Every structure is written in structure tokens, then in C-alpha cells.
Chains A and B, each alone.
Chain A
Amino acid sequence: MEFDTIAAISTALGEGGIAIIRVSGEDALEIVDNIFKGSKKLSTVDSHTINYGKLFDEHGNVVDEVLVSVMRSPKTYTKEDVVEINCHGGLIAAKRVLELVLDNGARLAEPGEFTKRAFLNGRIDLSQAEAIIDIIRSKTDRAMNIALKQVEGQLSKQIIKMRRELLEVLAHIEVTIDYPEHDVETVTHNLLLEKSNSVKKEIERLIEVANQGKVLREGISTVIVGRPNVGKSSLLNALVHENKAIVTEIPGTTRDVIEEYINIKGIPLKLVDTAGIRETEDLVEKIGVERSKKALEEADLVLYVLNYNDTLHEDDLQLMEILKDTNVIVIINKTDLSNQLDIEIIKELLSKSPIIYTSMKEEIGLEELETAISQLFFAGNIKQDDFTYVSNSRHIQLLKQSRQSVADAINSIEEYIPIDMIAIDIKNTWDALGMIICDSVSEDLVDQIFTQFCVGK
């Protein structure tokens, strides 16, 4: 758990589309060597060297041209062996490379895990420990939340269903092992084969779906919120450089959530415009407001827009209460008009957030806004690897792991390996699937045995 080899996309997405995949741990060199071809094996090169070469996938296809830095323990950030792969091919290639690294035995790093290791291995000094704890607490919980949200709905339903089937089979196997003399029918070879094959097929289907839909549809989830008519849609249009959202002088124009993908200083953002938040009786608008609140919960970054020309409303105070623990940039818009806004209150309530003054009408303040976003990003307050990739790569990885386990099971069944060993693979499949939906309690199995079967003295 703590001491295996970890990997993640680590930084520098901004500069010229280069992404770095960082791998840290005992097996880092070996893992990257598996997919890398350069003039030398990485395991033979000197420490702190940069090596040119190409990365290949399992079919022997070139994935990217890369520069690989090899840094051997202990003079590295984590004090473990560290390999950093600099990819040129931008985001998609980076993601592909990360997947390859994971396929070859690395585990996707948890939020803050490189830093944690650096600390545990004595690299970072004491004063920073508390800060790391905060990162772990907030980011892990948030990453988990996001992971959960991503698998909500269809995917999690499928997984729950597969797990239920596997658990029944497992309980059946286990009961015949632990109660060999009870008149429980033994699990037949054919039944096992059939079940395992159907689970494998389903897992493969899910992997395919996950791979297709997710390539570019990702970015730091950035949600624009604020009261009606403050200029949210105008902001979206300005950032996208296109008229994507309808802008009118009527409050309550945007009634549903609008999503756009943009790139600000190399940082991918999923920009979400929402319905202005206010108490309303209008049913359609009400639904919109609910959706806005939901989008807010999933946000990695919030752009909170206020009207310079208006006073603070009760709605604003409530909103600020919700926002005070999230990453927020306060945008005070319509500065071309006269000041009505009590900015001191905002500074007090959202003391940690930067405030940017803009006028969409006169196109003022956009540059400052973009800088503020990238600063937050590079200061590590919002982390690309934490949010954008964690959830998706994580569950693809776990799906692959479960596919491997169920394939092992099928193999063993076909070779007539004893049933208790097949059970090991089936249990692994069940566990890996459970990790996708953050649920793996082995007591379940014991419970299942006793609810499904009647055994005992």
C-alpha cells in the first residue's frame, strides 16, 4: 500500500504542450524500461541523466517520442528511484503513456502521494507536515467524491450487478469448501466457465466505453456561478472567444448548465456556465438552479461573478457560505458602471480568494483572470493529476485489473485447476471491481455464505 511504485501525470502542461509522467518507487526503472526503447536500457544509465527514446505499446506501436529523466534514490524528490517521462504529444499522448505505465505495474498515485512519500522518506522538513495532511484529507475526499460521481449511474449499476453475481458464485464455492459434508450442490465447471466468461465480456465492454468517451472530455471542472444577470454567460463567451451562451439583459436567461472545453495557458478547463442562483418560483428556472448547485459540488474551481453595480443580496451571502472552503476566484464584473457593491464584506467572507475586476463590455480584466487561474494551478492549489486523471484512469486501471483476474480464473477453469484456487482469482476480480465503486468489504462474503446456504450443526 505505502511502498509500491506510483505514477501520475505530474505538471507543466502549460509549456509547449509537454506533459510529465512521474514514476516513483522501487520498480520505477524496470517498469519504464518495459515500454521504452532508446540507445541504452534505463536500468543501465547513470543517475540524473536525460535519455531520448520512444515509447511502445503492447502491440509494438510507437506511442510517443520522449525524453526520460532517470533519477536514482536517494537524491530525488521522494528519495526513491524516480523516472520522469516528458511527452511531446500533448494531453492525449500523456494519458496514453500514463496508462501504459500503469499497465506495467505502477499504481496510480493518490492525491498528494509524491509529497507524502517525500516527507515519509525524510525529504521534506517538519514544518510542512501539517500542510500535507490537509492536502491528503481534502484532496482524497474530493478525489473520491469525483470518482464516485463519475461512476454513478450506468457504470456503477453494471459493476454492482457483476459483483453480485460473482459474490453468489464465490459464496457457493466457499460453502462447499468450508462445509464439504453438507448437501450443497457443488459448483459445476460449466457454470463457473459461463459466469466468468460473461463477466469478462462485460468488463471488456466497460473498458471500451471508458476509453472512447473520456479522451478529451476532461479538464479542470470550472464552474461559473453568481446571481442572475451578473454577466456569467458573457464571461463564458469571452473566455471561449465565441458566442456559445445566450446573453440578454433579462435575469434568468441561462436555464441549464452549459459546458465548454478551453485551454488557458495550457491548462485544460471544462468551463461550465450555470443558471443564476436565486430563490425562484419559476419551475424551469428552479430546476436550473438545482443543477447549478450540483455543478458547484463537482467543481474543482469556481468563478464567482458579482455585479459591481449592484448591492449584495441574501443569495450572495448564502453562496459565499457554500464557497468558503473551495477554490474560488471572485470576479467583480461591470466595473464600467458605478460602484454599489460592498467589497469589504466579500473580502472578509472569502478571505483566501483572489479578486479580479472585470468589465465584459469593455473587455477589461480577462488577462488578469487567466493569470489568476494559472497561478492557482501552478501553486498546486488545483492539481491536474489529482482531479482530471485520477478518477477516470483509476477506474480504467481497476477494470483492467479485474479483467486480468477473471481471465486468470477462466484459464484455471479450463485447465481444471482445483476450485479453491479459481476462487482466489474470482475474489480478486470482485475486489478490483469493488474498488471502482469504493466498496470492498470481505465480511460480505461470509454474510453471503450464511444467507445463501443453510449449513451448521
Chain B
Amino acid sequence: MSMGYKAGDFGCIVVGAGHAGVEAALASARMGVKTLLLTISLDTIAFMPCNPSIGGPAKGHVVREIDALGGEMAKNIDKTLIQIRMLNTGKGPAVHALRAQADKFAYQNEMKSTLEKEPNITLKQAMVEKLIVENDVVKGIITRSGAEYYSETVVLTTGTYLRGRIIIGDLIYESGPNNQQPSINLSHNLKEIGLNLVRFKTGTPPRIHRESVDFSKMEIQPGDEVPRAFSFDTKEYRLDQIPCWLTYTNFHTHMIINSNLHRAPMFSGAIEGTGPRYCPSIEDKVVRFNDKPRHQIFLEPEGEFTEEMYVQGLSTSLPEDVQIEMLRTIPGMEKAEMMRPGYAIEYDVVVPTQLWPTLETKKIKNLFTAGQLNGTSGYEEAAGQGLMAGINAACRALGKDPVILDRSQAYIGVLIDDLVTKGTNEPYRLLTSRAEYRLLLRNDNADLRLREIGYKIGLIDENRYQAFLLKKNQIESEIERLKAYKVKPTSEVQEMLKSAGSSELNNGTDLATLLRRPEVTYDMIESLFPGLSEIDSAVKEQVEIEIKYAGYIEKQLLQVEKMKKVESKKIPEWVDYKTIHGLSLEAREKLSKIQPLNIGQASRISGVSPADISILLIYIEQGNKNMELNQHGKTE
């Protein structure tokens, strides 16, 4: 490190400008906090080192939530996507999910320009090597070139850069993703200041040249024809979309992999980090599912103005020559020209149970961490955390109450609660099955769930908020209308029911009851009984879902109500688990470590039994009463 110099004062410093960092910086800046955003390279802002796509089940939901709260990811992808689809349309509305192919380069440029235009953000290229910490409170950071920046809060979003190590067969070198400079000293510094780090692993597949591919042997995967967008505010849609392609591995591919397993770092022991089960390398898949004759491979364009294509499904850390050999066994890729090899990357991760649900570290006050650094995988999970860390850092700087989303409000809430309450021993991927209130956390209603919050913290402006209120009102009044509107079994109605394959009416009923029938859609009803004013399709969608699935939705709401009651029982700061007589040993240990904020969170910790919770409740009550008594003593 060179000679130090004082370089500036900020309300919030964000270290790293990946998907978490940009959301953190934008949120904090837009909330009115003077924000410094530092990145190792200004050319890798919002870089996608792995797949060129955003969204999918649960992940797409997060992107919608980010938008509802006033984050940037949804807008940025809408502006730079080259294809977009709604997945799971054959299933219930709760699991409908958007997924877009991004033009990686456009995505980066667009995000960089958004950051540059943000008046409260100072964007700089710098390698951060050290945190300035006094009495367990972070005060700022020091860069490799000696710049000392002081700040009320610091958000670390360093992704997979910490002590990054790339592995391709027996080739191993220190590196961040895609041969970027790794961040070595910061990792050591984090340990010094008392944070617990573990090592994780992830991987990426090779990229090949479009011109070398024979698409006639593959199946085309076009985008949707209906206009779609992630952001609730997007009004312009891209319709000329670029397709992806589907092909398969085969016996020959698997043979090559099997005969080269001794050169695979996964099996030779060169990799120490824990990799994700849900994102296995192709060698992993071939070994673990050896009865599967073929695996899917999707070819995805990396951008509109590049010939590079991403080979989804072929993540690998086999040696380069094996990668080429294996690629060329796949139909359509016989002459594939590999432009970049796949690789595995190992990196340091902050054990996330060291964090409060605000993503602030328990150990160092005013220090927040977010993104892959916290042990997650995926751009969307990173961005969701980045947004929340940025919001909470800004709240701290502004002296406002923190914002914590619970499990019934957002996938982001599920994600963060899982991380800080249960921790993770592999890169954590959001799945819809991790959400217990999945039916409430839908792709379509993210704004109804979260816009209000976004508005309150100042990330949603008045215009967008008014548009939202209008939509909300329309939904409510249309539902009222359908419930109140009585219909008789007229020939028109019977005709409609018959053509829908539904049984005819015997008695009069109301439109809402009619709509509850599986075969009847809102459109059918509207065509016979139109409302007074024309309403938006997003409103119609809400009306239809809310009425059709009312039974299920109510069931989940009841569960949520119960959960909220428990969640509202706060655990006071004076609680000392070591002195609670009667707690089981395991519960005592886990509770002291995790320090849950409320009884609900405590009960989700594995190893904490209902009996432990009862005892904790009594202990808290006892303490409260004691304090009351003491207070009385003093005032008298």
C-alpha cells in the first residue's frame, strides 16, 4: 500500500459494482445519501460473468420486487434484453416467471451510464484493501493507492473476487471472474477484523463462436410474441427478439468426460470449496446421474453485436483440450470454435449468520455485506440483497428505522431470512419451494406487496406512486363489482358456460362465483358483462387471480397472520442466552450465535425446539416484569 492521503467523506461507501453493488449505491444515493461506489475496474460494472440471462422462477420474482421497491435491475434488463419469455404459463399464477436474455455489453453500458448520471454517486476505479475500523465500528476504507475515504457506512459487495482462484483442469491461478484481478488483501483484512470466512465454488461453461455452429441440428427457442417487461413502469417493448437454441449431449460426450475424470479438479481434489448441488458441472451430472442418456444444452447469445454464445448446461472445469473435444460431440457443434473455456472459481464468503436481517454485520457496526459475498449465487439474489443493504445503510446514515422484509412479503425476505437465520453450506439459490407463502409472493403482484414501502423510503417517486394507487383502486372496485353483480341463468350465460365446457347454471349467482369455476375466465365474463370503464390488463389479471384462487389465498393469509403474531414478539437486547436456565445446550449455542430479533426468527433456527421457545418467552416476560419493578422502585 502506498502513502495514505485523505480522499473524501461520504455517507455510504459501496465496495464493488456488480449486481449487488450497483443496487446498493443507487438506493443509498436516491435516498439522499452522498455515496461513493468503488470498483476494481470501471469496465466490469454490472458484469455478467456467467449466463447472459436474468430471471426465471423465484429469481424473476426478485427482479420484480426490486422494481417494486425502486431498484434498477428490472429497468436495466428491459432496456437491454434481446429476448423475453414467461415461464411456467401452464401452471398457477404464483409460479409464472419472467426470464430474459440480456445483451451483456449493453446491460453493462446502460447501468454504467445510469450510475454516472446519478448526482449523489461518485463512481471511481479503485482496489479496496482495508477497512478503517475503530472500536468495532467501521469508519471508512483504504485503497491500494493509499486513498483514505471516510464514511458513516460501508457496504461490501465484492462478489467472487475475495481470494478468487480459477481452475481449469490442472491449470490453477489467482483471479477474479473472467480473469479480473482478484481481491486478496481485503479478504485477509476481513479476517483480521473478526469476520468468519468460508470457501465456496462455482463454475461457468465455455463460450463458442456463432459462425461455427450448425443451427439446423438444433431446436429453436424463440421469445414470447406478447410484449413483456420486468419493470412495472416499462412502456416500450422489444418485439424483434433473438432466439436461443436447444441441443443435447450424448453417449460420446459422456464417454469423453468419463475417460478424463482423472483430470477433473472436482475429482482430483484440486477444488476445496463447496459447490452448489443445483448448478452442477457437466462432469458432476454425468457421474451422479450416470443412467441419464443425455443432458440438455441451451445455446444463448451473449449479446446482439457479438458472435459469442454461451453453452448453458456445460459448466465445467475440465482441461481446455477436453472441453473442446466434448463440445464437438454435441449435435450442431461438431465444428465448434471455443472462444473462452469454462472454468471453476473458488472464493471467500462471509458466513451469513454473522449478519443481522438488515445485512449489517453483528461484529462491526455500520458495515454491511451483500451479494455473492454472503454465499448466494445468481445476479438476482445479489441485486436483491444489494438493494436492501443499500437501503439499510442509507437508513443508518439518515438516522431512520431499518427496513426488513419478512417471509410473507417478498422472496427477498425469504432469501435474507434464510441466510441470516439458517446460513448455507453451499452457494444459495432461491427456489420457489423455499417460500412457504408462495401463492402470495407472485410475479404479478410484487407492486401490490412492496410499492408502498418503496414510496415511503423515497425510492418510488410521486408519479409512479399515483399510478400504483390507481391500479390498486381499480382492482378493488372491479372485485367488488363482480361480487355484487347478480346473474340469472339466461340463454346467453348458459351458452357461454357450455362453450367453456362448464356445467350450466340452475339458479342465479354472482359473477365472482362464476369466475371461480376453473373453466371460466375473466375475459369471458367481461365480454358478457363489461364494467363501466376500460381497465388495464394488469388489473384484469389481478382480479382474476384474486377471485379464482381466493380459497387458497385465504388459507395462506391465515398462516401469515399466525406467523406475524409470533414475529411481533421481539427479543429484547438484554436477553443473555447463557443464563437462561432450562434451554437445551444446542438451542443456547445457536441462539447466542444468531441472536434472532424476534420469536418467529428464533423458532426457525434448526435445533431450537418448541420447548426452548416456551422457555425463552417466559424468560423474556420475567425480565420485563423485573424491569418494571425496578423502574417503579426508582421513580418512587
Contacts and interface: CB of A to CB of B under 8 A. Distances in A.
Residue in B434, B439, B549, B619 with the greatest tally of chain A CB atoms within 10 Å: B434
Contacts of B276: 456
Given A119-B621, A174-B431, A457-B205, A418 B91 contact: yes
Interface string A171-203: 000101111111100000000000000000000
Interface string A1-19: 1111000000000000000
B481 interface: no
B614 A110 contact: yes
Given A1-B562, A421-B94, A445-B433, 6 more contacts: A1-B566, A122-B625, A180-B88, A421-B552, A450-B278, A454-B292
Nearest to B51: A457
Contacts of A450: 277-278
Contact of B92 (A174, A176, A418): A418
A415 B518 contact: yes
A457 B313 contact: yes
A1 B610 contact: yes
A79 interface: no
A177 B57 contact: yes
B57 A180 contact: yes
Interface stretch (A67-75, A133-141, A247-255, A288-296): A133-141
Nearest to B555: A424
A420 B518 CA distance: 15
Interface string A36-66: 0000000000000000000000000000000
A421 B618 contact: no
Main secondary structure of the interface of A (DSSP, over half): helix
B198 to A, nearest CB: 18
A130 B556 CA distance: 37
A88 B304 CA distance: 82
A441 interface: yes
Contacts of A418: 91-93, 95
Contacts of B57: 177-180
B606 interface: yes
Contacts of A421: 92, 94, 439, 549, 552
Contacts, number: 145
B285 interface: yes
B611 A140 contact: yes
Contact of B289 (A112, A116, A449, A454): A454
Interface of A: 1-4, 110, 112-113, 116, 119-120, 122, 126, 129-130, 132-134, 136-137, 140-141, 174, 176-183, 415-421, 424, 441-443, 445-446, 449-450, 454-457
B296 to A, nearest CB: 5
A133 B618 contact: yes
A129 B618 contact: yes
A406 B58 CA distance: 26
B590 interface: no
B622 A2 contact: no
B146 interface: no
A133 B315 CA distance: 54
Interface string B357-384: 0000000000000000000000000000
A118 B599 CA distance: 18
B618 A183 contact: no
Given A424-B439, A446-B434, A456-B279, A126 B622 contact: yes
Contacts of A4: 562
B402 interface: no
Contact of B582 (A136, A176, A424, A456): A136
A132 B57 CA distance: 47
A179 B609 CA distance: 34
A417 B518 contact: yes
Interface in B589-630: 599, 603, 606, 609-611, 613-615, 617-619, 621-622, 625-626
26 contacts: A1-B562, A1-B566, A1-B610, A2-B569, A116-B618, A129-B622, A136-B582, A174-B431, A176-B91, A178-B433, A180-B87, A180-B97, A181-B87, A181-B296, A418-B93, A419-B91, A424-B439, A442-B436, A446-B431, A454-B280, A454-B292, A454-B295, A456-B276, A456-B278, A456-B313, A457-B279
B92 A2 contact: no
A133 B617 CA distance: 10
Given A424-B438, A424-B439, A456-B285, A183 B296 contact: yes
A120 B617 contact: yes
B317 interface: no
B288 interface: yes
A441 B626 CA distance: 37
A136 B611 contact: yes
Interface in B253-312: 276-280, 285, 288-289, 292, 295-296, 298, 312
B565 interface: yes
B615 to A, nearest CB: 5
